[in-house]
Amino acid sequence: MRWLANGHGTHNGAERGKSMQRLVLAIVGCLIFICGDLVAKDPPIRLVYEVDAKKEARVDPATMKKLVTAVDQRVNPDAKFFGLFKIPVRQFGNRQIEILVPAGKPKLLARIQRTATRPGTLEFRILADRRDSRHKQAITQGRLTDANTVRSADGSQQLGWWVPVTPGNEKDFTDSQNIATRTRKYNGRKILEVLVVKDPYGVTGAYLQRIQPSKDERGRPSVRFHFNKTGGQLFGWLTHENRPDEKQNVFRRLGIILDGKLYSAPIIRTVIHSEGEITGNFTKEEVQDIVDVLNTGSLPLPIRKVEPIKKVKPAKQVESAKTTRK
């Protein structure tokens, strides 16, 4: 992850150009989308998602309404900004959401299935470091527990928690002997986990003002983020408290946690306030998924797909089938 300068106006011209380009592409795409649907013979594909009863027993109408809005914004990310044609997303019953995806658009269907249920959470946490005396207690207690949460010896204080590393990124963390790690088995496969320490700032995606696709120093797809005023202050305090201690040769790492999984952990080299960049082994498609999900925020309720993909029968076919049965 490469931290960016905090100057204002540096990228304004480029960002305006990118916004205009995205608007033009979105309008062209919308026209193709609509024209294709006008001649499409196949009925739309129906996806149904339900609030996960195992994680959320009760659902109030107000929260359900927020959930529908959040899912709608993920399914129709461009419509949120430009008011374009929208894929129907609506509440179905008391706990379900129905999405009608146009037939013959496999990439669109795949994108919706990838992003619809993602929690959409983002956290910035400091990795437990064996060289840091402040982390000694958390590391000691972390070795003594199989639980995810690490607490003090008397159980009165949470010191940190274990976070699973995103598959494929393990080498970024096993190469360092200073990071507290452990390996666990989950569903028959080994998963690397890294210990992060609790801090008083709680910097999360709730403080993001803007997220957009970008490229890192090596030209790879990345995600650039910008904090609002409050987020910038909290992030500044967090990075200031964990700035390099060159005398003790301690360079702390900032964990980037997306949907509960650790993606990357760059070294904090200076105090950061307003913006930064998330890098990793991302494809352009993965970056766009992350941008779309984070721009709409986290889901207020956990959801899961409850029905297999199926095509919706047109009203005439349904009526004809009823007549035939008679």
124 residue type, one letter: F
pLDDT per position as a tens digit, 239-257: 999 999 888 788 999 999 9
pLDDT 10s digits, 32-89? 555 544 445 678 999 999 999 888 888 999 999 999 999 999 999 876 544 557 899 9
CA pair distance 10, 8, nearest whole angstrom: 6
pLDDT at residue 128, rounded to an integer? 97
Which residues does 117 contact at the CB level (< 8 Å), separation at least 6?
49, 299, 302, 303, 304, 305
pLDDT given for residue 22 in this prediction: 60
Backbone phi, psi, residue 237, to 5°: -65, -40
If one compares 15 and 57, the residue with the highest pLDDT of the two is 57
Residue 264 in tokens = 């990357």
Residue 114 has pLDDT above 50, yes or no: yes
Q: What is the pLDDT of residue 281?
A: 80
Q: pTM of the entire structure?
A: 0.75
The per-residue pLDDT for range 138-166, each reduced to its tens digit, is 999 999 999 999 999 999 999 999 999 99
Alpha-carbon separation of residue 145 from 135, 139, 157, 287 (angstroms): 16, 10, 14, 35
Mean pLDDT of the chain: 83
Q: Per-residue confidence at 29, pLDDT binned at 50, 70, 90?
A: low
Domains and CATH numbers, the chain: 38-117+300-318 (3.30.70.3400), 122-209+233-270 (no CATH)
The two three-digit tokens of residue 239, written as one number? 């990075």
